[in-house]
Amino acid sequence: MWDDETRYAVIRGRDARYDGQFVTAVRSTGIYCRPSCPARTPARANVDFYPSAAAAQRAGFRSCRRCFPDDAPGSPRWRVGADVASRAMRMIDDGVIEREGVAGLAARLGYTERHVSRLLTEELGAGPLALAIAHRLQHARTLLEGTDLPVHAVSRAAGFGSVRQFNDAARSAWDLTPGEVRGRAGTRATGDARVELRLRLRAPATLGRTLAFLGVRAIDGVETWDGETYERTMRLPRGAARVALSAVAGGVRAVLELADVSDLAAAVARVRRLLDLDADPVAVDDALGSDPLLAPLVAAAPGLRVPGAVDGFEMAVRAIVGQQVSVAGARRTLGRLVEAYGGGLSVPAGSHEGAPGGLSVPTGMFPGPEALVDVDPGSGLLPAARWRAISSVAQAMLDGDLDLGPGADRDAARATLLGIRGIGPWTVEYLAMRALGDPDAFPATDLVLAKAAGLTPRELDSRAEAWRPWRAYAALHLWTAVSEGRTP
C-alpha cells in the first residue's frame, strides 16, 4: 500500500478514510495510532508504519488512548481480496482460530500452518495467532467500554482462554488492565444476555438504503423491519442469536442477544458483512462517479453499500427461490418454507425490549442444509426443479464441496455452483455479490439492470467492463435507482 512518504502525508491530513488500513508507530513514545489521530503529528524521523495493529503490538508498541486504533473499521483490502491472505483475515474476523485453532485455519485454506504463518507475516507483519489476539482485544475493549459484562465474561466473549491470558494481552497492548479500561470509560447496564454495540464505518454511508433493501425482503418469522430498525435471527457456531440494527451518526447501533456469548466475534463479523461496513466508499464512488451513466446515481446515493449475508446457505436458497419471481412472491414462499422446515430461536428469555413498531419479535430460524437436503421435490411450495437445486446445494455444502463462507475461494465456489443443475449465471453472480462478498460480481443477464441502463444485456455486460473492480456497487446503484423511481 503506497510508500511511507504517502502514508505520512495521510497522517498529516488526518484522513479517516484510511483508518484500519495501516497504523502509525511513534518510536519516541512507544505508541501506535490510526491515521486520523487528533494528536500532534509526530516528526517524520520518529515514525514507522505497520500494516496492522498486530504488527505494531508485535514490535512492542501500545495502543493510543486518544484514537484507539484497534477500534477502527476493518481494512477494505481484506474484505474485497480473493488472495489467501484476504481469505485468512476474513476467517480470523469470523473467529475460526478461536474455534479451530491455527491448524483449522490452515486446513480451511488448504495450506500448511507454516506456509500460512509465513504468508500472513509477510503481508501483515504478524502471524495468525498474533492477528487473532489483536482481534480479540478489539472486541474486548468494545465490551469493557460499552457493557456491564464482568471481566471474566468479557474474556470469554472475546475468545481468550483465561482471564490471566486476557490481562497479559491487555497490559502488553494497552499498558492498562481490563479493569482500568473499564474505569476510564464508564458503562451502560445491558445484562449478560443482551449486548449493545456501536459498529463503526467509513463515511459517506447511506445505511438507510441498505437496511431498507434488507427490510423489503424480510422473511416472516426470521426478520422484521419497521422503516428504521431491521431485526433478524441467525445461526452462529455455538448457538442461535437475534440482532437488531439501526443507523446512527457515524455507524450502526447493534443490539445482540446470544445463546452463547462466545459467539460475539462471529456475530459482529457477520453483521459487518451483512451491511458492508468495511467498504471504502470514497474509492468506489470516485471510480463509478467518473462514468456519465452512473455519475448522477452515485451523487444521489453516496456511499451506497452492497448488502451481504449472515449465512451462505440461506442466501443460496433465497436466490434459487427468487428466480423469475417478484420480491413479494419470494418472501411469501420463503416464509412458508421457514414455517415448514425451520426451527425456533433459543436465547435467554426476558432480555429483549420488544420489536419496534409493534412488530412481533423474530423467533424463527432459517433451515440449514441438513433440513433441506432430502426434501421430496414433489412436496409443493416450489417447482420440483428448484427443490432439486436446493437439495444439491445442501448436499454440496454438507459434503464440503461447496463453501459460501467468508474465507471461501470465490472462483471454486462459482465453478461448483455452475455445475449444479438449475443454477445459472445470474444466480451465481448474485450469490458471489451477496454471500461471497465479491465487489466485482455482476449479474449481467438481469433484465432490470439492462432496462435501468437503457441497454441490452450484451451491451450492459460490455459497458460494465469499465466499472471493474466495483461492478457489484454499480448493480446496486442501478437497482436502487429503479426502486426509488430514478433513472440514469
**CA nearest 294: which of 483, 439, 467, 456?**
467
- Whether 238 and 267 have beta carbons less than 8 Å apart is answered as no
Concerning whether 33 is annotated as a catalytic residue, the answer is: yes
- Whether 39 and 67 have beta carbons less than 8 Å apart is answered as yes
Q: d(Cα 257, Cα 244) in Å, to the nearest integer?
A: 9
User: Following DSSP, what letter does each residue of 375-438 receive, concatenated?
Assistant: --TTSSSS-HHHHHHHHHHHHHHHHTS---STT--HHHHHHHHHTSTT--HHHHHHHHHHTS--
Backbone angles phi, psi at 376, to 5 degrees: -65, 120
Selecting among 4, 19, 33, 399, the annotated active-site residue is: 33
Q: d(Cα 52, Cα 210) in Å, to the nearest integer?
A: 29
Selecting among 175, 280, 446, 461, the annotated active-site residue is: 446
The verdict on whether omega for the bond into residue 204 sits within 30 degrees of 0, i.e. cis, is yes
Buried b (16+ CB within 10 A) or exposed e, 336-356: ebbeebbbebebeeebbeebb
- Whether 50 and 81 have beta carbons less than 8 Å apart is answered as no
CB atoms within 10 A of CB 114: 9
- Whether 188 and 195 have beta carbons less than 8 Å apart is answered as no
CA-to-CA dists, residue 434 to 238, 315, 427, angstroms: 24, 7, 10
With H, G, I as helix, E, B as strand and everything else as coil, classify residue 60.
coil
Q: d(Cα 388, Cα 471) in Å, to the nearest integer?
A: 30
**CA nearest 134: which of 178, 184, 172?**
172
Q: d(Cα 366, Cα 25) in Å, to the nearest integer?
A: 45
- Whether 187 and 146 have beta carbons less than 8 Å apart is answered as yes
With H, G, I as helix, E, B as strand and everything else as coil, classify residue 457.
helix
With H, G, I as helix, E, B as strand and everything else as coil, classify residue 242.
strand
**CA nearest 427: which of 336, 311, 323, 349?**
323
**CA nearest 442: which of 475, 480, 466, 478?**
475
> What is the CA 74 to chain-centroid distance, rounded?
9
- Whether 473 and 438 have beta carbons less than 8 Å apart is answered as no
Concerning whether 37 is annotated as a catalytic residue, the answer is: no
- Whether 305 and 279 have beta carbons less than 8 Å apart is answered as yes
Show which residues are catalytic: 33, 446
